[in-house]
Amino acid sequence: MWRILRRKTEIPTADRALPGRPSPDFEIPVMHYVNGNRIQPPFPEGLEQAMFGLGCFWGAERVFWEAPGVYATAVGYAAGLTPNPTYEEVCSGYTGHNEVVMVWFDPQKTSYEALLRLFWESHDPTQGMRQGNDVGTQYRSGIYTFSGSQKTLAQASRAIFQKELARRGYGTITTEIVEAPAFFYAEDYHQQYLAKNPGGYCGLGGTGVSCPIGLGVAAE
């Protein structure tokens, strides 16, 4: 049991990672199940992207598709080693991927800071390679940035939220903040899962601590 747990909570080395495949083994939907907007290119002009990992992507995606100013969302795999993995491969612990949500948003209607606030308040970012009862590298906390300004805002928000968490007795944030890697769409049945299965599993749970990013609060 210890070896299995260790395998699932450590990023595999390149020589141990599954080889993957040059293209997906499954068909990727074009439209969002909830709002009918596109989740594949081409997209309307003026949209921006954000990518987050915050535990099981079923509940994480719903957090963002319900947010004002979000055009569409999709779930997938990123920040690992295996190209075009399947869900079963990701769960094996031999891809190193995270379950992530891709968010396309209108910067005229919302902001990256607002999405960061949703991200921080919707999960516990101090848990390392797990989120609640879900254990594995695919459940780690991550922000994957598409520009220098996103990286700066993400790092600043982490510092601000760390201070708030510490006041409430939480430990060190383990969230990785890195440049956005390749995004591999998850299978169709995962897309907008909780809209297709309203009573489905959602392991997402926040800390109850508010993140004051965008409210004029600076990190010390």
pLDDT tens across the length of the chain (220 residues): 444 445 689 999 999 999 999 999 999 999 999 999 999 999 999 999 999 999 999 999 999 999 999 999 999 999 999 999 999 999 999 999 999 999 999 999 999 999 999 999 999 999 999 999 999 999 999 999 999 999 999 999 999 999 999 999 999 999 999 999 999 999 999 999 999 999 999 888 899 999 998 654 454 5
Identify the pLDDT of residue 215: 53
Identify the pLDDT of residue 2: 40
Identify the pLDDT of residue 8: 84
CATH number at residue 96: 3.30.1060.10
Q: Is 43 helix (H, G, I), strand (E, B) or coil?
A: coil
Backbone angles phi, psi at 78, to 5 degrees: -160, 165
Structurally, the chain folds into a number of domains equal to: 1
Residue 194 counted as domain residue: yes
Considering 56, 91, 202, 211, which one is annotated as catalytic? 56
Q: Is residue 202 among the annotated active site residues? A: no
Which stretches of 42-136 are assigned E, i.e. beta strand?
A: 48-54, 70-78, 98-105, 130-131, 134-135
Residue 20 counted as domain residue: no
Residue 119 counted as domain residue: yes
Residue 139 counted as domain residue: yes
Residue 1 counted as domain residue: no
Residue 27 counted as domain residue: no
C-alpha 39/C-alpha 190 separation (Å) is: 13
Residue 21 counted as domain residue: no
Residue 86 counted as domain residue: yes
**Domain range holding 135?**
45-220
Angstrom CA distances, 135 to 11, 66, 78, 93, 121, stand at 13, 26, 17, 10, 20
pLDDT per position as a tens digit, 82-105: 999 999 999 999 999 999 999 999
